[in-house]
Structure 1
Amino acid sequence: METFERARLEAYFARIATQFTPDEQTASFLITHLLPERPAFVQAVAAMTRLTAVLPKPKSIHPDAKREVEQTVPVDTLTRDLFTEADDALDYLESRAAGETICLLDVGGYFAHTLAEVHSRFTGRIAGVIEDTENGHRRYEDLDKLPCPVISVARSPLKDPEDFLVGQSVVFSTEAVMRGRGDILHGRPALVIGFGKLGSSIARLLQAKGVQVTVFDLDPVRRTQALSQGFTVARDRETALTGAGLVLCATGAISLRGEDFSHLRNGAYVATVTSSEDELDLAGLPDVYTRTVVGDHVTRYRTTGHYFYLVNGGNAVNFIHGASVGPFIFLVQAEILAAIRMLTRGDLAPGIHEVPVPNREAIATTWLSYFNR
């Protein structure tokens, strides 16, 4: 990022922080993709809260961004196990913010599993959670009872540009990896598993490139939407896998279980839009498959009479090339900052909430004044 671009971004976040100054300053824990442009957002969170620690998503850490953030904020190691057991989660939170009021800024529902117990036992107060992804939104939504407010920006209209551009980056990176091995998209039927915002974006982009696209989704409503947009809709996963030369997984849940991989046609590529632990049950793959790295970011899984290629180890394919969506990501980040103020007011009931429309409009207006020049 050029110096003037960084200065403009910092000015934008300073303006947002002024618009949504919290009623009180709480402590915070920030889970995030630590990408090249992310330090400016981290700085903004630190201006609005006492940022206790940054926990970068393991497969999306840019070394320069990490070094910059570490100069001002502790950067801790994030694992699913850290928040799987309540005792471990409590020990960690207490070590950083014992007795304080804290906001948990999440990407993917990391805090969801132990939230109720942690909320009841923490020596301070958990003001609430802010969740950025559809996968995480569903994890909080699936809890029997939320002990505190959860503000989700996952379904915000301000996230629509990001979702569309993430879809573009997924298609770009998938094609680039295939071309690196002498393969191309054309003539290779594609299967998109999951027809949510990301999956539908990917399907449309592939279709625009002249690729034959089939969609599989468990939700009958989404299947009707896919049909109305001209896609072939698979009746069952097994048949769909058998005919696909490229499989893109975009459910945020397990798209392929161990027994599914044997139905892939020989030479099929498999890529995902999120981490392998969320999309693929690789542990369930039969032990008869051998794994061989056969190119940049490509692993061949092979057994007698069958083989397929896994891209980027099953992790988000677009992170190979930085996963950039340009300045549109700053819309959602600003909405997260607005959500911080909502939590600090302390007047939200337990449950899932959204940022009000007037706040989103204010964010969009500010964003346009900085980035629509």
Structure 2
Amino acid sequence: MVFSTEAVMRGRGDILHGRPALVIGFGKLGSSIARLLQAKGVQVTVFDIDPVRRTQALSPGLHRRPRPRDRPDRRQPGALRDRRDSLRGEDFSHLRNGAYVATVTSSEDELDLAELPDVYTRTIVGDHVTRYRTTGHCFYLANDGNAVNFIHGASAGPFIFLIQAEILAAIRMLTREDLAPGIHEVPAPDREAIAATWLSYFNR
């Protein structure tokens, strides 16, 4: 994700190092992205709706977004995010002028470009870069809002089988008649068994 975003920026003569970035979502992907950006000298601010994750973002010295609303502002020149529907139509005008927006999944899941005001014109300005521009403001969208890491052939690889196995374990739980209504999590022993099986097969 970070490699591909940096490659897109360099293709237009911009650099990532030393610039601020906003990471929306501090889950497994977002936290990894934030820490790697920090290691590359990027000034990282994190936003997540979960107060526990916002607290976790403080421990490695990352900045935490103080406002409760999920809305980037003009102080943030980059948006790297991993949370569903993170940027809605009205949010784009709050991005800092010249911001790069990169996502880790499809644009339909992540960005509400359909609600972008009609005053923005769309122009392809480089390989995998589209500029959205209006009077006095513009931002750049990487890979049409789709997963930017797919530009360079990145994929989940064998790790996807861990996710698929936990989905199967969750389905098995849902078939149990004694499962009470509510939110449930795959039990730790099942996750350990899945991880051990995966390790024995993929990491001999």
Match for 2:159 among 324, 328, 349? 328
* CA distance in 1: counterparts of 2:146 and 2:32, whole angstroms: 19
Match for residue 144 of structure 2? Answer: 313
1:357 match: 188
Aligned-pair CA distance for 1:326: 3.1
For residue 179 of structure 1, report the CA deviation from its aligned partner.
2.2
1:173-204 per-position Cα deviation (integer Å, ceiling 9, x unaligned): 21222223232211321111222332222111
**Stretch moving more, 282-291 or 255-264:** 255-264
Q: Is the 8 A contact 1:335 1:363 kept in 2?
A: yes
CA shift in 2, pair 1:221/1:370, >3 Å: closer
Q: In the alignment, what sits opposite 1:247?
A: 79
For 1:337 and 1:264, how far apart are their aligned partners in 2?
Answer: 40
Contact 1:245 1:269 in 2 (8 A): yes
The residue correspondences of 1:159-178 to structure 2 (distance < 5 A) are: 170-178=1-9
Give 2:14's aligned residue.
183
**Partners in 2 of 1:261 and 1:368 — Cα distance?**
43
For 2:194, what is the secondary structure of its paired residue? helix
Partner of 1:279: 110
Please, which of 232, 243, 257 is the counterpart of residue 63 of structure 2?
232
In structure 2, which of residues 130, 133, 137 is the aligned counterpart of residue 299 of structure 1?
Answer: 130
The 3 A distance-change label for structure 1 pair 314 and 347 is same
Output the aligned Cα RMSD: 2.6
Give the AA of the match of 1:288: V
In the TM superposition, residue 268 of structure 1 has moved relative to its aligned partner by 1.0
Q: Which residue is 2:31 aligned to?
A: 200
Which of residues 45, 55, 58 is equivalent to 1:214? 45
1:259 touches 1:285 (CA, 8 Å); kept in 2? yes
How much identity, in percent, do the aligned residues show? 83
Residues 203-242 of structure 1: CA distance to partner in whole angstroms, max 9, x if unpaired? 1111011111112234433333222321122334699531
Cα–Cα, structure 1 residues 350 and 227, in superposed 2: closer, same or farther, change >3 Å?
closer
- Give 2:113's aligned amino acid: L
Amino acid at match of 2:5: T
Q: Is 2:94 the counterpart of 1:263?
A: yes
- TM-score under structure 1 normalisation? 0.49
Which one-letter code corresponds to 1:208 in the other structure? A
Contact 1:297 1:313 in 2 (8 A): yes
Between Structure 1 and Structure 2, the one with more helix by share is 1
Runs of 5+ in structure 2 lacking a partner?
Answer: none
Unaligned regions of 5+ residues in structure 1, if any? 1-169
1:290 aligns with 2:121: yes
TM-score normalised to structure 2 length: 0.84
Shift of 1:302: 0.7
Distance of aligned partners of 1:362 and 1:187 in 2 relative to their CA distance in 1, 3 Å threshold: closer
Q: How many residues align?
A: 203
Distance in 1 between residues matched to 2:173 and 2:50, nearest whole Å: 33
Equivalent residues of 2:105, 2:147 under 8 A apart:
yes
Check conservation: 2:71, 2:87, Cα contact below 8 A.
no
Tell which structure's C-alpha radius of gyration is larger.
1
Moved more, 346-355 or 304-313: 346-355
User: Partners of 1:271 and 1:345 in 2: how far apart?
Assistant: 40
Q: Write the distance in 1 (CA, Å) between the matches of 2:64 and 2:186.
A: 35
